[in-house]
Amino acid sequence: MARVDGIAGTCSFPPRVDDEQSQAGLEPPVGKVYFVHKVIIAPSAPGNQKLIHTMSTHKVLIAGAWRAADSSGSFQALNPATGESLADHYPISNWADCDAALSAAQQAFEGLRQLAPQVMADFLDAYAVRIEARAGEITELANHETALAVEPRLASIELPRTTSQMRQAATACREGHWTHPVIDTAAGIRTQFGPIGPVCVFGPNNFPLAFGSVSGGDFVAAIAAGNPVIAKAHPLHPGTSRLLAEEAQAAAKSVGLPAGTVQLLYDMSHADGERLAQDHRLAAIAFTGSRHGGLKLKAAADAVGKPIFLELGSINPVVILPGALAEKGEALADEFTGSCLMGTGQFCTSPGMLVLQAGERAEAFVNKTVKGFAAAPSGVLFSESGRESLATSVQRLHQAGAQILTGGTAEAGDAPRYTNTVLRVSGADFLASSTALQGEAFGNATLIVMTENQAETSQVLNTLEGNLTGCIYSATDGSDDPAYDELAPIMRQRVGRLLNDKMPTGVAVSPAMNHGGPFPATAQAGFSAVGIPGALLRFAMLQCYDNVRPERLPLGLRDQNPGELWRQVDGRWTQSSL
Amino acid sequence: MARVDGIAGTCSFPPRVDDEQSQAGLEPPVGKVYFVHKVIIAPSAPGNQKLIHTMSTHKVLIAGAWRAADSSGSFQALNPATGESLADHYPISNWADCDAALSAAQQAFEGLRQLAPQVMADFLDAYAVRIEARAGEITELANHETALAVEPRLASIELPRTTSQMRQAATACREGHWTHPVIDTAAGIRTQFGPIGPVCVFGPNNFPLAFGSVSGGDFVAAIAAGNPVIAKAHPLHPGTSRLLAEEAQAAAKSVGLPAGTVQLLYDMSHADGERLAQDHRLAAIAFTGSRHGGLKLKAAADAVGKPIFLELGSINPVVILPGALAEKGEALADEFTGSCLMGTGQFCTSPGMLVLQAGERAEAFVNKTVKGFAAAPSGVLFSESGRESLATSVQRLHQAGAQILTGGTAEAGDAPRYTNTVLRVSGADFLASSTALQGEAFGNATLIVMTENQAETSQVLNTLEGNLTGCIYSATDGSDDPAYDELAPIMRQRVGRLLNDKMPTGVAVSPAMNHGGPFPATAQAGFSAVGIPGALLRFAMLQCYDNVRPERLPLGLRDQNPGELWRQVDGRWTQSSL
C-alpha cells in the first residue's frame, strides 16, 4: 500500500490512483488538491502537474493507513449550488472494513491507555494547526459539497469554531478537570471518570467542520476523553471529511498516537452500520442527524446495552409574550426572520415554531414576518433529498391544519431551493393535532401558532416533546411577568436550554452550554453535545478505586495533586494535595 | 375513602378492612400492627383489641391516600424460614391504579417545583426519624418476609444504613452541590442539574430497606433530586414496603409535600409495568433485580427514549495472584468463603467467580475453600423460586464444563436452602464456553477458574462482560506487580469498582463509591446507584439558562451564592458570590 501519511509541517493526501496503480505500489503524486468539476488537478508537486481522471475510488483510513476499501460500490457527492456531481468517488465499505476498523480501534485503545493524556492534547493542538494551514482547500471543498459560503460561514465562522473547540478539548485533556476526581480519604475510595473505549461518530450534514465526524464536537470530546474514534463521514461531504482525516492522521502520527486512534469510513449499508453499533469492540456511539436514522441506530445499540448519544431534530419553540410584542414587535419580527433563515434554516437550533397570543400586534408581527420571508432570497439546501424532505414536512403541517402564508413551493433551477415558508395555525387546531404539528420541517420554514389566550399558550407548551431550546420573550416593564412565571416552568422541563429575549440559533462553545435536551431532541437529557469539558462525559465511564494501592492509582487520584487539578476531597473542591 | 394518613409524632397504618367497610366510610382501627401467622392483631388502640381476619386486601398509596386498589387479584408473601404464607393479601393493581399514580405524580411534580429543596430535605429527615421509631416492627416484618436475621443484619446494619442514606440525601438536598452549577459570566450562560420528573422505582428482593423501592438508595436519590416517586414494592416483601410507605406518607404530610410525592403499588402485570415505563407522564425508571426482568423493562423504556437505570446481576470476578496466595492463601480462602456466603450470597457484589493460577498453593486454596463451604450452614434463600433459579444456574455452569466440588443440591426442609456450592473449571474450558460460564448463580455458589498461566488469566479476563466490581489480590513484596500491571487495565474497563486486596461485598455509602459498571451490570457506566450526591444525577436533567434575567434564575445560579454552594464559575470551583 502506498504510504500517504504526511509529516508535521507538510501537507499530503491519499492518492486518487486507480486500483492497478495502487496494487503495483506506485507512489501517488504529492501536493495540494484543487477541485474543478469532474477533474482533480494536483499542481504543486513538480513533475506531477497532470489531470487525474477520477474513476478510481478514494481510500479509507484504517489502522493508521489509507487503504483501498473493501467495498460494494461507491458514491459521489453533488455540488448543491450547481446540481452537478463532484468528480470524486468514495467507497461504500463492506463489513470487512468495519471489522478491521473495530479491531484497530480496540488495539489503539490499549495503546492509548499507556499514554499520558498530554499526547492526546498535543494531537488536538497539532491537528488544529494543520487544519488552519489547509483552511483554503478545506473550506473550498466544503463549499463545493454543501453550498455553504466560504465567507463568512465556512472560513471565518465554522473553521475557527472547529479549531477553537479542538484547542479547548486539548486544554481539557491537559488539565484533567473533566475527570471529576472524588476522594474519600476515610473510606479509602477514590473515583474519577475515565475513557470508555472506541467511539463511532456519525456526523450530520449541516456543519461539515464544527460537527464533522472527524473534526467536530463529538470527535474532539471522544478523543480528549482518551478514546479512539471511528468516524463515519456524512455522505454529503465525503471530500471535506477526507481532507480533515488526512490532517488528523498526519497529526496523530506526528505525536506518536497508536495507529487506529483516528479512522475514517465514508459509508456502509444500514445493516453494517447497525452491526457496527452492536459490536462488542465498540464502546459508545455519537450520532447527529435525522430522527429516522438516529432511532434505527439507537434501537440497534439499545438491544445490546450500548451507550448512544443522539442529537436529533428539534423545533425550538419561541414564545413572544404580548408585552414584548407591544414594546418591539417589528424588531422581533426581523430577529425571528433572521434566525429562521440563517443557514437556510438548516441549524439544529433553528426556530421551527413560534407561539403568539392573538391580537392586532400579533397580526402585525405575522405580516412583517411573512414579508421578510417572502423578500429574502431562498438559500440553497444541502441536497435534493433535503428539499424533498422539507416539502414533505411542510405538506404534512399543511394537511394537519396549518395554513401556508408564504412559500410552500420548490424553486426552479438546478440548485435545491425551497421558497422561504411561513405556516400558521390556531392554538385550538394545534392542540387538535399536536403530534403532527410539531413535526420538524428542517430548512427555511416555520410555523406560527396563534393562541386565543395565555391558558391556551400554556396548553400548547404542555404538549411539546423534548427540544434542544426554548425561548420566551417578555416585556422589560414587568407586564409579562405573570405569564412568564406560568409558562417558563412548563418550557423548562421540555428543553435543554431556556433562553430569554434571544433567538436560539447561536450555540456558544461554553462550559455552561447545554446543547442537549429531553428525548427525542437527544437520547439523554443529562448531557450536552457542545461545551467543554462537559461534552467529554458522554464518552466516559465512572472508574472507582477501592483500597487500591497508592502507587497504582491514576495520577489524578493520588495524594499528590499532579498539577492544579480540581478535586473533590472529603466533600470540598480543592486544587491542593492531600 | 377512609382517611388513614398519620400525623407527625403518631403512627398509623392503612386498614385491613374489607371493601364493604371501606365503602361504608368506616374508620379503620388505629394502632401498631403485630404479625402473627395468618392473623393480624391490632392491640394498641383501646377498643380495637380484636383479631382481624385477613381475607381483605391491603390498600395502595395513590395521590396521598391509602385506597382500595383497582386490582385483578392479590398475592401473599411467604415466610422463607417456615415456608408458610404470611397472612396479608396485597393487590395486583390494574392499569387504572398505574394511571392514577402517574397523574398524581405529574401533579405532585408541578407542586414540588414551587417548593424550596429544604422541604424535601425535611421530609427525608422526618422519614428517617419515623423509621427509627418503628424499627422493631419494620425489621420484624422484614425478617418474616425475607428470613434475613433481625440482628445484626436488619436492625443493626441495614436499617441504620437506610436512615443514614436518607439523612445524607437530606443534606445533599439542602446543600445543593449535586446540582453542579456552572456559570460562564462572559457568555451569560448558566447551567445546573435539575429534577427530571416522576420516577418509578422497582426495588430488588435482597435489601428490603436499604435498596427498598420506597426507602432505599434509588428512592432517596430520586426524592432528593426533587422528583416524585412511584414505588413498586418487591412482591417478596410487600408488608415491609407497606410499613415504610406508611411512614413516608406520614412524613410527607407532616412537612407539607404535595400529595402523590410518594406512592406505592404492590404489583401489576408485566404488560402494565411496561406500559407504565412507556407512559409520557413518567420521566425515568430505576430497576434493581434480575437481568431477565430488567432487560424487558429496558426494552420498553428504550423504545420511547425513556431514561432507565438498571442494576442487574454481576459475578464480581476476584483474581488472587500467585504471590498473594503464597503469602496468605489460607487466610484468603477464609476471606473468600465469608464473602461468598454472607447473606447466603444474595448480594449484588457477591464474588461469583475466582481466578487462580494452577499450582500447589492454588490446590490448597481450593481445598480450604471447599471445606469452608461444606462446613458452613447453608443459609435460607429468599424464596423457593430463588432456590430453583440457583439450582438451574449451577446446573448450567456444570453443563458448560464446570465440576461441582461441593454442594449442588437442594437442602431438605420447608425453607428454601441450597447447599453451599463451589464449582471449578479450567481456564481452557472457561475460554471455550465463556458466555455460559459467566452466567450469574445468585446465591451461595461460586466458580473457581484455574488457569495454566498468567496469559490465560489475561484471556479469561478479556472475555468478561461488564461487572459491578473486580478485585485483584497481589503480594506485598512486589512479586505480583508485573502480573497486576498486565491484568488491572483489562479488569479496569470491565468493572465499575476495582479493588485491591479486599473482597467486594462491602459497599460503603461514600461520595466516592461507584456501585455501577458497564452493561450488563448496569445500563449506563457513568452513574452510581450508591453514594450521595452522585446517585442523584441519574434522576436529573441538565438545565441551561441562556440570557435569562437575573431574578428569574434558580437561586443556585444567581450572582449571590445562596449559601456555601460549590459552583464552577468561569472554570474555577468556588463557594463565593460573583
* pLDDT tens for each residue of B75-134: 999 999 998 999 999 999 999 999 999 999 999 999 999 999 999 999 999 999 999 999
> E strand or H helix at B7, and its extent?
none
Q: Are A488 and A461 in contact (CB under 8 A)?
A: no
C-alpha–C-alpha distance, residues A563 and A576, integer Å: 9
Q: How many CB atoms lie within 10 A of CB A208?
A: 34
> Which residues of B290-430 form beta strands (DSSP E)?
308-311, 318-320, 353-357, 403-406, 421-426
A window 251-290, beta carbon within 8 A of B: none
Cell digits of residue A241: 471529511
Does residue B50 have a pLDDT over 50? no
Of the candidates B303, B496, B542, the beta carbon closest to that of A526 is on: B542
Other CB atoms within 10 A of residue B414 CB:
14
CB atoms within 10 A of CB B572: 13
Is residue B51 predicted with pLDDT exceeding 70? no
On whether residue A335 sits in a domain, the answer given is yes
For residues B532 and B169, is the Cβ–Cβ distance under 8 A?
yes
A184: which strand partners? A189
Is the domain of B42 the same as that of B138?
no
Q: Which residues of A493-527 are buried (b: 16+ CB within 10 A; e: fewer)?
A: bbbbbbbbbbbbbebbbbbbbbbbbbbbbbbbbbb
Cα separation, A390 vs B434, whole angstroms: 50
Q: Show which of residues 326-345 on chain A sit within 8 Å of chain B, judged by CB atoms.
A: none
Same domain, B139 and B247: yes
Subunit contact B566:A544, Cβ cutoff 8 A? no
For A259-411, where are the E strands, in sequence order?
262-265, 284-288, 308-311, 318-320, 353-357, 403-406
Mean pLDDT of chain B: 90
Q: Are residues B457 and B575 in the same domain?
A: no
β strands within B374-530, DSSP E: 403-406, 421-426, 445-451, 467-473, 495-500
Mean pLDDT of B165-182: 97
Name the percent of chain B lying above pLDDT 90.
89
Model pLDDT, residue A313:
84
Do A118 and A29 fall into the same domain?
A: no
Cα angle: B418, vertex B419, B425; to 5 degrees: 110
Helix (H) or strand (E) holding B368: helix B360-375
Other CB atoms within 10 Å distance of the CB of residue A266: 30
Residue A324: Cβ within 10 Å count: 23
Is B36 in CB contact (< 8 Å) with chain A? Answer: no
Among B510, B527, B552, B557, the strongest candidate for a mutation testing the A interface, having the largest count of A CBs within 10 A, is B510
Asked whether the beta carbons of residue B512 and residue A543 sit closer than 8 angstroms, the reply is no
Cα–Cα distance between B503 and B515 in angstroms, integer? 14
pLDDT of residue B343: 94
Among the listed residues A348, A440, A456, A471, the single catalytic one is: A348
In a domain, B227, yes or no: yes
For A459-507, how does the pLDDT look when each residue is reduced to its tens digit (9 = 90+)? 999 999 999 999 999 999 999 999 999 999 999 999 999 999 999 999 9
Q: Is pLDDT of B43 > 80? A: no
Is residue A416, in this structure, part of any structural domain at all?
Answer: yes
Planar angle of CA B161, A568, A308, nearest 5 degrees: 85
- Give the number of residues written for chain A: 578
Answer yes or no: A486 catalytic. Answer: no
Q: Closest approach of chain A CAs to the CA of B119, in angstroms? A: 19
CATH number assigned to the domain comprising residue A368: 3.40.309.10
Rounded-to-integer distance, Cα A270 and Cα A273, Å: 5
Q: How far apart are CA B85 and CA B540, in angstroms?
A: 40
Cα separation values, A564 from A367, A468, A542, B370, B566, Å: 57, 34, 21, 51, 17
* Ramachandran quadrant class, B571 (left: phi over 0; alpha: psi -120 to 50; beta: rest): left
Q: Write out residues 393-422 of A within 8 Å (CB-CB) of B.
A: none
Catalytic residue among B137, B247, B311, B456: B311
Task: Note the helical H segments in B176-308.
Answer: 217-224, 238-255, 270-278, 291-303
- Nearest neighbour of A519 by CB, restricted to B305, B502, B544: B305
Q: CB contact, 8 Å: A160 with chain B?
A: no
C-beta atoms of A302 and B302 within 8 A: yes
Query: How high is the pLDDT of residue B245?
Result: 98
User: For chain A (length 578 residues), average pLDDT per consecutive 10?
Assistant: 26 28 29 27 33 68 98 95 94 98 98 95 98 98 97 97 98 97 97 98 96 98 98 97 98 98 97 97 96 95 97 95 97 98 96 98 98 97 95 98 97 94 98 97 98 98 98 98 97 98 94 96 95 97 98 98 96 95
Whether residue A346 sits in one domain with residue A294: no
Whether residue A458 is contained in a domain is answered as yes
pLDDT above 90: residue B243: yes
- Selected for mutation to probe chain A from B544, B569, B570 (highest A CB count within 10 Å) is B544
Residue B6 makes CB contacts below 8 A (sequence gap 6+) with B12, B246, B247, B249, B250, B253
**In this complex, is the C-beta atom of B578 within 8 Å of any C-beta atom belonging to chain A?**
no
pTM: predicted TM-score of the whole model, two decimal places: 0.90
What would the pLDDT profile of B388-397 be if each residue is shown by its tens digit?
999 999 999 9
Peptide bond into B91 cis (omega under 30): no
A544/B528 CB distance under 8 A:
yes
Which candidate in B348, B440, B456, B471 is catalytic?
A: B348
Interface test with A, best of B514, B536, B572 (most A CBs within 10 A): B514
Q: Are residues B542 and B441 in the same domain?
A: no
In A466-485, the residues whose Cβ lies within 8 Å of chain B are 469, 484
Backbone φ/ψ region at B517: left (φ over 0), alpha (ψ -120 to 50), beta: left
Task: List, in sequence order, every beta strand (DSSP E) within A6-129.
Answer: 34-36, 39-41, 51-53, 60-62, 65-67, 71-75, 78-79, 84-85, 90-93
What are the chain B neighbours of A527 within 8 Å (beta carbons)?
542
Record: contact A514-B489, CB cut-off 8 A: no
Domains: count for chain A: 3
**Residue B458 touches partner A, C-beta closer than 8 Å:** no
Closest CA–CA distance from residue A548 to any residue of chain B (Å) = 5
Q: Is residue B71 in some structural domain?
A: no
A191 touches chain B (CB under 8 A): yes
Whole-angstrom Cα distance, residue A422 to residue A374? 9
* Cβ neighbours of A191 in B, within 8 Å: 512-514, 528
Spatial distance between the Cα atoms of B197 and B279, rounded to a whole number of angstroms: 12
ipTM of the complex: 0.90
- Omega of the bond leading into B152 within 30 degrees of 0 (cis): yes
**Closest to A526 (Cβ–Cβ): which among B298, B541, B573?**
B541
* Touching A: B residues 492-521, CB under 8 Å: 492-493, 496-502, 504, 508, 510-514, 516, 518-520
Considering the domain architecture, whether residues A301 and A323 belong to the same structural domain is answered as no
Establish if A115 touches chain B: CB-CB under 8 angstroms: no
Q: Give the domain CATH number at A263.
A: 3.40.605.10
**Quick one: three-class SS letters along A202-266?**
ECCCCCCCCCCCCCCHHHHHHHHCCCCEEEECCCCCHHHHHHHHHHHHHHHHHHCCCCCCEEEEC
Say what the pLDDT of residue B73 is.
95
Residues 6+ apart with CB under 8 A from A408: A394, A398, A419, A421, A423
Query: Are B552 and A484 inside 8 Å of each other by CB?
Result: yes
Grid cell listed for B303: 423504545
Q: Measured between CB atoms, does B576 come within 8 Å of chain A? A: no
To probe the interface with B, which of A500, A542, A567 has the most B CB atoms within 10 Å?
A: A542
| A112 and A261 fall within a common domain | yes
Compute the distance between CA of residue A281 and CA of residue A304 in angstroms, rounded to an integer.
Answer: 12
CB distance B184–A549 less than 8 Å?
no
* DSSP-derived secondary structure letter, B564: S
The dihedral formed by the CA atoms of B236, B238, B244 and B246, expressed in degrees to the nearest 10: 180
What pLDDT is recorded for position B313? 84
- Beta carbon pairs, A and B, within 8 Å: 185
Q: Which domain holds residue B431?
A: 318-500
Kindly state whether residues B198 and B213 are assigned to the same domain.
Answer: yes
Measured CA to CA, the distance from residue B262 to residue B124 in angstroms comes to 11
pLDDT at B55: 57
Q: Are residues B492 and B370 in the same domain?
A: yes
B303 in the same domain as B334: no
Q: Please check whether residue A560 is in contact with residue A173, taking contact to mean a CB–CB distance below 8 angstroms.
A: no
Q: B197 in contact with A at a CB cutoff of 8 Å?
A: yes
Q: Between β-strands B284-288 and B308-311, what pairing exists: parallel, antiparallel or unpaired?
A: parallel
Q: Which three cell numbers, joined as nine digits, stand for B524?
A: 449506563
SS (H, E, C) B142-164: HHHHHCCCHHHHHHHHHHHHHHH
Q: Within its chain, how far is the Cα of A153 from the centroid?
A: 16
Question: Do A250 and A76 form a contact (C-beta atoms < 8 A)?
Answer: no
pLDDT of residue A32: 26
Strands A39-41 and A51-53: what pairing? antiparallel
Alpha carbon B287 to chain centroid, angstroms: 8
Question: Is position A252 within any domain?
Answer: yes
Bridge partners for A67 per DSSP: A60
Task: Kindly state whether residue B211 falls inside one of the protein's structural domains.
Answer: yes
B311 tagged catalytic: yes
Mark whether B368 and B465 lie in a shared domain: yes
Q: Is residue A232 part of a domain?
A: yes
> Which residues of A415-566 form beta strands (DSSP E)?
421-426, 445-451, 467-473, 495-500, 540-546
C-alpha neighbours within 13 Å on the C-beta side of residue B44: 9
Strand partners, A310: A287
- Kindly report the backbone phi and psi dihedral angles of residue A161, in degrees, each rounded to the nearest multiple of 5, phi listed first: -65, -40
